[in-house]
């Protein structure tokens, strides 16, 4: 259990001013990890690489990949033991060739994350992250300061500078962290991180009645751009359009965690007077992508090498055909993840030629798999991100099914040590986010998969929770 988890009960009971102070203190801590005196040079180098042609990118990635694979096989316990077993069995496959390595699942990393750390680094000196993405299964990773700053230099270059903004501009984050108690029914529904010029707004409280308060908070803090879950920021924009609210004019809205649909782009642009740009990334930092001004989602070759494999075999999918995204991170040398299956599907076009934006970077197309159902509350909120409910609990897998507006079923695969107190923690965590709902926890050997064999972390059978096919504010 990390420090943040230990302090959360105290944070929830603190008054708003103390939460603001805590947010700023934690924001300063994060900034010290993410940015340093080298940041501007790293950003400049990232922009310079964008002029490279496809052949130069291939050479760059091949060299870094071969070095990382050799290093991982020698210094990372999990991989070293794997190769020792294979050599003992007579396997002479070359370590430097990526195809020699097996596909790595999230479950394997979740089960023994420390085994993926280099044997010459101290865990206490690293930054710990826990996430479950859209899989419902928490995964713990670590980064050193060099990895953190390399990753955030790329995000600065391509999730901000591409759109004419910087980290020094006031910005809003609309996400699923419980920054204020979920049962709170009066503003503020956000916390201001002065150190990072960030207004973190809780999507747990987003409903029509609260929309004016959210928009006023953005205006009062001088927000210039926003980074948000696609469904959450589109919902806020929809309320603004439908109710004629005065939303602040922004330079850009960058969306994450879900594909960005055409109607979401339209309503975001209508409300905030700016383009909406899609991004792609994950806590494991094995891949990243950002959308250029011509609507192309460009992969970041420096972040990781992305393979597209067939759904029924660990073999390459046909060129341009969607398949499982399997990524080998190139930034994190203290915890390298080789051929890591991220849980998304998509296609990669590596040789499309130079884009109209002037960049010759691979393109991520037909992106699927990051969209989950929204849970719907009795007061009209739509809650997307409930995975933190399961963090630091002895759980292999969990799926939340909304059977009725006031009834949830949690299909849960317990790990060793799971007991009644953990079952209560799950129910209480969901009620904090959704209100007075009935929660039934079902302990299973495995969570049921869909017809296509894919895992869904959230399933809603409540009609209002479905994603509209067209702009809902124009529906008859």
Give pLDDT tens digits for 346-397. Answer: 999 988 899 999 999 999 998 875 545 678 888 888 786 687 788 889 887 7
Integer-rounded Cα radius of gyration of the chain: 22
Q: Average per-residue pLDDT in the chain? A: 90
Considering only residues 451 and 211, tell me which one the structure prediction assigns the higher pLDDT: 211
Q: Is the pLDDT of residue 298 over 60?
A: yes
Average pLDDT of 285-303?
A: 97
- Are 273 and 250 contacting, i.e. CB atoms less than 8 angstroms apart? yes
CB-based burial label for 431 (10 Å; 0-12, 13-18, 19+): middle
Position with higher pLDDT, 194 vs 373: 194
Pairing outcome for strands 171-175 and 225-229 = parallel
What is the spatial distance between Cα 96 and Cα 106, in angstroms, rounded to a whole number? 23
Alpha carbons 299 and 160: distance in angstroms, whole number: 15
Q: 313-321 long-range contacts, Cβ below 8 Å, gap at least 24?
A: 314/102, 314/103, 317/347, 319/349, 320/347, 320/349, 320/365, 321/347
pLDDT at residue 449, rounded to an integer: 65
Q: Find the range with the poorest average confidence among 45-49, 181-185, 300-304, 424-428.
A: 181-185
Contact 417, 392 (CB under 8 A): no
Q: What pLDDT score does 462 carry?
A: 87
Residue 436: φ, ψ to 5°: -80, 85
pTM: 0.83
Task: Work out the pLDDT band at 476, boundaries 50, 70, 90.
Answer: very low
Check residue 387 and give its pLDDT: 76
pLDDT tens column, 31-63 = 999 999 999 999 999 999 999 999 999 999 999
Three-class SS state of 52: coil
The predicted model gives 176-189 an average pLDDT of 86
Confidence of residue 93 (pLDDT cuts 50, 70, 90): very high
How far is Cα 67 from Cα 386, in angstroms, rounded to an integer?
38
Q: Which residues of 365-380 are buried (b: 16+ CB within 10 A; e: fewer)?
A: eebebbbbbbbbbeee
Distance CA 261, CA 232 (A): 12
Cβ-contact 284, 142 below 8 angstroms: no
d(CA 46, CA 175): 27
Ranges 16-25, 172-181, 298-307, 449-458: which has the least confidence: 449-458
Q: What is the pLDDT of residues 75-85, one digit of tens each?
A: 999 999 999 99
Strand pairing class (252-256; 276-281): parallel
User: Of all helices (H) and strands (E), which one includes residue 118?
Assistant: none
Cis bond upstream, residue 188 (ω within 30): yes
Q: What is the CB neighbour count within 10 angstroms for residue 403?
A: 14
pLDDT at residue 142 in the model: 98
pLDDT digit string, tens, across residues 117-132 = 999 999 999 999 987 5
What b/e sequence results for 278-291 when a residue is b if at least 16 CB atoms lie within 10 Å of its CB, and e otherwise?
A: bbbbbebbbbbbbb
Strand ranges, E, within 125-219: 127-131, 139-143, 171-175, 190-193, 198-202
- Tell me what pLDDT residue 326 has: 97
Can you tell me the distance from the alpha carbon of 146 to that of 208, in angstroms, rounded to the nearest whole number? 43
pLDDT, residue 67, reads 97
How crowded is the C-beta side of 98, counted as CA atoms within 13 Å? 26
pLDDT over 90 (residue 291): yes
pLDDT of residue 132: 54
Q: Output the 3-class SS for 343-394.
A: EEEEEEECCCCCCCCCCCCCEEEEEECCCCCCEECCCCCEECCCHHHHCCCC
Q: How many CA atoms lie within 13 A of 283 on its CB side?
A: 15
226 has a pLDDT exceeding 50: yes
Q: Assess whether pLDDT exceeds 60 at residue 288.
A: yes
Torsion of CA 27, 200, 255, 412, to 10 degrees: 90
How would you class 467 by CB atoms within 10 Å of its CB: exposed for 0-12, middle for 13-18, buried for 19 or more? middle
Question: Any idea how long the chain is?
Answer: 476
Determine the Cα–Cα distance for residues 456 and 136; give it in Å rounded to an integer: 8
Q: What is the pLDDT of residue 469?
A: 31
Cβ–Cβ < 8 Å for 265, 233? no
Q: Which of 84-98, 120-134, 249-263, 406-420 has the lowest mean pLDDT?
A: 120-134
CB count, 10 Å around CB of 406? 14
Among positive and negative, which fits the CA dihedral 93, 99, 105, 111?
positive
146 in Cβ contact with 39 (< 8 Å): no
Separation of alpha carbons 228 and 276, rounded Å: 10
- Lowest mean pLDDT across 132-136, 195-199, 432-436, 458-462: 132-136
Average confidence (pLDDT) over 163-177: 95
pLDDT category, 2, cuts 50, 70, 90? low
Long-range contacts of 186-190 (CB under 8 A, 24+ apart): 187/213, 187/217, 188/16, 188/213, 188/217, 189/213, 189/214, 189/217, 190/214, 190/217
């Amino acid at each position: 259990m990390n420090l943040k988890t230990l302090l959360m009960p105290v944070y929830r009971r603190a008054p708003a001013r103390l939460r603001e102070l805590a947010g700023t203190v934690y924001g300063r801590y994060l900034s010290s990890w993410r940015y340093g005196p080298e940041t501007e040079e790293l950003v400049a180098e990232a922009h310079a690489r964008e002029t490279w042609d496809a052949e130069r990118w291939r050479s760059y990635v091949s060299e870094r990949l071969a070095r990382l694979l050799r290093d991982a096989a020698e210094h990372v316990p999990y991989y070293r033991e794997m190769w020792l077993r294979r050599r003992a069995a007579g396997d002479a496959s070359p370590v430097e060739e990526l195809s020699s390595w097996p596909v790595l699942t999230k479950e394997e990393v979740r089960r023994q994350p420390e085994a993926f750390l280099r044997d010459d680094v101290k865990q206490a000196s690293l930054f710990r992250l826990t996430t479950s993405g859209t899989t419902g299964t928490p995964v713990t990773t670590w980064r050193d300061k060099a990895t953190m700053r390399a990753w955030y230099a790329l995000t600065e270059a391509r999730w901000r500078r591409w759109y004419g903004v910087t980290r020094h501009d006031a910005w809003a984050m609309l996400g699923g962290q419980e920054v204020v108690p979920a049962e709170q029914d009066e503003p503020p529904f956000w916390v201001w991180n002065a150190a990072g010029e960030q207004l973190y707004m809780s999507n747990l409280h987003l409903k029509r009645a609260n929309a004016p308060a959210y928009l006023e908070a953005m205006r009062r803090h001088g927000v210039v751009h926003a980074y948000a879950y696609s469904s959450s920021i589109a919902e806020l924009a929809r309320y603004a359009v439908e109710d004629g609210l005065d939303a602040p004019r922004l330079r850009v809205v960058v969306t994450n965690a879900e594909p960005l649909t055409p109607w979401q782009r339209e309503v975001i642009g209508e409300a905030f007077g700016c383009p909406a740009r899609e991004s792609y990334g994950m806590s494991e930092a094995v891949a990243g992508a950002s959308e250029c001004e011509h609507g192309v989602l460009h992969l970041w070759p420096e972040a990781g090498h992305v393979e597209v494999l067939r759904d029924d075999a660990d073999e390459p999918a046909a060129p341009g055909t969607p398949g499982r995204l399997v990524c080998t991170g190139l930034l994190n040398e203290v915890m390298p993840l080789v051929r890591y299956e991220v849980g998304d599907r998509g296609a990669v076009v590596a040789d499309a030629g130079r884009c109209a934006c002037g960049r010759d970077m691979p393109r991520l197309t037909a992106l699927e798999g990051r969209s989950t159902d929204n849970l719907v509350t009795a007061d009209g909120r739509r809650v997307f991100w409930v995975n933190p409910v399961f963090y630091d609990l002895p759980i292999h897998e969990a799926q939340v099914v909304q059977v009725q507006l006031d009834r949830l079923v949690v299909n849960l695969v317990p790990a060793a040590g799971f007991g009644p107190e953990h079952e209560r923690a799950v129910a209480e965590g969901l009620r904090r986010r959704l209100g007075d709902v009935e929660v039934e926890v079902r302990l299973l050997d495995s969570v049921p998969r869909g017809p296509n064999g894919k895992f869904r972390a959230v399933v809603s059978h409540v009609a209002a929770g479905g994603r509209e096919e067209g702009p809902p504010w124009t529906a008859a």
